[in-house]
A and B are shown apart, each in its own frame.
Chain A
Amino acid sequence: MMKDEQTTNIMTATIVARPSSLLVIGLGNPILGDDGVGWTVAERVKQQVEINPRYQICYRPVDSKVIHRHSFVEVDCVSLGGLSLMERMLGYRRVVIVDSMETGQSPAGSVRVFKLDELANPSAGHSASAHDTSLITALRTAEAMGMPIPKSVEIVAIEAKNVYDFSEELSPVVAEAVPLAVQAVMDLLKEEP
């Protein structure tokens, strides 16, 4: 099986134009309590992706005797929003965002998976962002300009408890949800062809 998978990946390498076609973004502020949960989840996803041959492309350049390995799933942690976040996503076919959420409607630690389109677009309303525009409007702007926006943006969101006190620690109930959120991201990645 392993051999087959690697063969497939080597073939994939010939048709993938970019080093990574799938991006997982951990979003939030790592020093603001539960707002950093997106980073924690993304870092664990990165560890799993790096050891899983399913997500590796193996190839040997014609002038080299060394087999190179490259993950086609890229994982990054950022504190961005609006236009900046859109700019980070350009060029990827698919993006999965891991973020905290504050709906106040579900218990802290709840994990939800949904598509970006399912969010109400706040920047179509009043000054939805004090300095920028919403991610949805930013993506539509890029699309209008013919820029390479991802075809799919999915979100794994974890209901937060504390995002107003500076801390590098997650609330216990949110920390307990991390493995669940990691699994949710890995399940999304499994849908890859």
Chain B
Amino acid sequence: MTQRITIDPITRLEGHGKIEIFLDKEGGVANTYFQIPELRGFERFCVGRPVEEMPLLTNRICGVCPEAHHMAAAKAADMVYHVDPPRTAKLLRELLYMAFYVTDHATHFYALGGPDFVMGPDAPVAERNILGVIHKVGLEIAGKVIQARKAGHTVVEMIGGRKVHPCTSIPGGLTKGITEEQRKEIEDMGHWAVEFGQFSLKLFNDIVLGNKAYVDLILGDIYTHHTYYMGMVDENNKINFYDGKVRVVDPDGKEFVKYAPKDYAEHIAEHVEPWTYLKFPYLKKVGWKGFADGKDSGVYCATPLSRVNAADGMATPRAQEEYERFFTTLGGKPVHQRLATHWARLVELLYAAERWVELATDPEITSPNFHTIPTETPTEGVGIVEAPRGTLTHHYTTDERGVLTKVNLIVGTTNNYAPISMSINKAARGLIQKGTVVTEPTLNMIEMAFRAYDPCFGCATHSLPGKMPLEVIIRDADGNTVDVLKQFC
């Protein structure tokens, strides 16, 4: 008898996803499917609008990382107008972006990824959340997370004009600069963020690395895949979230390609599967060989883990120390264990905080020269930034008035659709065998496989969930329900 287990929905608040696990006659895993509904019609919605609206419009695509879309759209619009923003504008945009990164990475670690480790993957579901973390580790933690978020929001508002959904980036730079008084306040918050980054890494060190069971879990085979890794780097091959070239290394850690944003289409193609509307990007020059590991498979990964693998180091001193400790502890580059993504995320958080201070103390940051007026006829442009969840590409084509005629986006999580699907499959096969009784902790450990990627379903919808957040349905080959497991029975 073939059985089907459905984990549905993963969430409604940030978009709706579904995992289906098909069991074979012996009770082992026959196959798994990870489905993400695609929001439709964004290109059609954009075509006919002025390109300068895109930094505002695209930050409504997704409620999770509007700042990333704002930046990628602004950079693409710069290129459409063939205008190079003044150095101050670039510094300010990157500063806003670093503050956002600290906020976003902190939220993921403490609210989502962390509870699995702090509370344990098999802890009761009602405790495996940020409240459980507070009860176990102390109120001080929550205070720091809230403080980090407040600092990040404040910087985004100062530079971006409003919280969460910035509105100041336009082709050629920004609509406003910052005063010396604001700069000082931003610098002070940056110093605090550096301490917070160090605190978070120490916490990870004490709670996760200090626990042999967790280290074994991280290093275990069920959460390991050998794929290509992608990340943006500066001229020294150090990680850069705002600007640079996209570097891809092979599963041995050797550089496979390094390309300028405008050339992305030469390197990335998309594969279609009949069971999902979302496409699977892969490396064109390697080719699609199915959901497979290894050098011959064009599957690549674009996450914090892939960024540290794809780069030669971090551009700030404390983050560089942590970067070295990361690879020394985990046995050298590249690291293939997907759960190590949580650690890589914290290394990135520290880098973002250090870079925040660097930018806030740059003598040109308060210069009034924050905009270059575009004078060229607009044509076509590509903007790439590293979103927290992966490389984010915006590609626009306009007519001679700057009115959009074509729009193409490859968003962070889409890059990782194939590796996430592979991770779920491997974890399910590793955890469910003949005779396994599927329990809540088992399902949580399967979910941990994709949670490491911090997947975003590209959806800013906030429709209220009107049903149970999780249902596990086991069906026989005829579609009859054999058993139903609910979270709040």
Asked if chains A and B come from one complex, the reply is yes
A51-59, A61-69, A95-103: which lies at the interface: A95-103
Count contacts on B: residues with CB < 8 A to the other chain: 63
A157 to B153, CA, bound (A): 28
Known contacts A120-B469, A124-B126, A145-B142; A133 and B488 CB within 8 A of each other: no
**Given known contacts A80-B63, A120-B488, is B447 in contact with A127 (CB within 8 Å)?**
yes
Size of interface on A: residues with Cβ below 8 Å to B: 54
A7 CB within 8 Å of chain B: no
Q: Given the complex, which residues of A lie within 8 Å of B10, measured CB to CB?
A: 126-127, 130
Do B111 and A133 touch (CB < 8 A)?
yes
Residues from chain A with Cβ under 8 Å of B131 in the complex = 137, 140-141, 144
- A146-186 to B contact mask, C-beta < 8 Å, 1/0: 01000000010100100111110000000000000000000
Q: Do the beta carbons of B464 and A119 come within 8 Å of each other?
A: yes
Instruction: Give bound CA distance, A10 to B149, whole Å.
Output: 37
B45 contacts A132, CB within 8 Å? no
Say whether A189 faces chain B, with CB atoms less than 8 Å apart: no
| Known contacts A79-B63, A122-B12; A164 and B134 CB within 8 A of each other | no
Name the residue of chain B whose CB is nearest to the CB of A27.
Answer: B462
- Answer yes or no: B7 CB below 8 A from chain A CBs: yes
Q: Would you give the 0/1 interface string for B72-110, flagging 1 where the beta carbon is closer than 8 Å to chain A?
A: 000000000000000000000000000000001001100
A6 near B: Cβ within 8 Å? no
In the complex, what residues of A have CB within 8 A of residue B164's CB? 78-80, 84
A101 to B461 CA separation, bound complex (whole angstroms): 10
- Which listed residue, A84, A133, A160, A167, touches B130 by the CB 8 Å rule? A133
From A16-24, A28-36, A40-48, give the one contacting chain B.
A28-36
- Chain A residues near B470 (CB, 8 Å)? 125-126, 128
Nearest-CB distance from A90 to chain B (Å)? 10
A86 to B153 Cα, complex, angstroms: 13
- For residue B238, CB closer than 8 A to chain A, the reply is no
Residues from chain B with a CB closer than 8 A to the CB of A131 are 14, 64, 104, 107-108, 111-112, 454, 456
Q: How far is the CA of A175 from the CA of B46 in the complex (A)?
A: 23
B143 located at the interface, meaning its Cβ lies under 8 Å from any Cβ of chain A in the complex: yes
| B14 lies within 8 A of A132 (CB) | yes
Q: When the two chains form the complex, which single residue of B40, B149, B464 contacts A166, counting CB atoms closer than 8 Å?
A: B40
Flag B155-178 by CB within 8 Å of A: 1 or 0 each: 000000000110000000000000
**Bound complex: CA A119 to CA B488 (Å):** 12
A164–B41 Cα gap in the complex (Å)? 9
Contacts from B to A (Cβ < 8 Å): 7, 10-15, 17, 37-42, 44-45, 57, 60, 63-64, 66, 104, 107-108, 111-112, 125-126, 129-131, 134, 139, 142-143, 146, 149-150, 153, 164-165, 443-444, 447, 451, 454-457, 459-470, 487-488
- A residues within 8 Å of B by Cβ? 27-32, 35, 38, 78-84, 87, 99-105, 119-120, 122-134, 137-138, 140-142, 144-145, 147, 155, 157, 160, 163-167
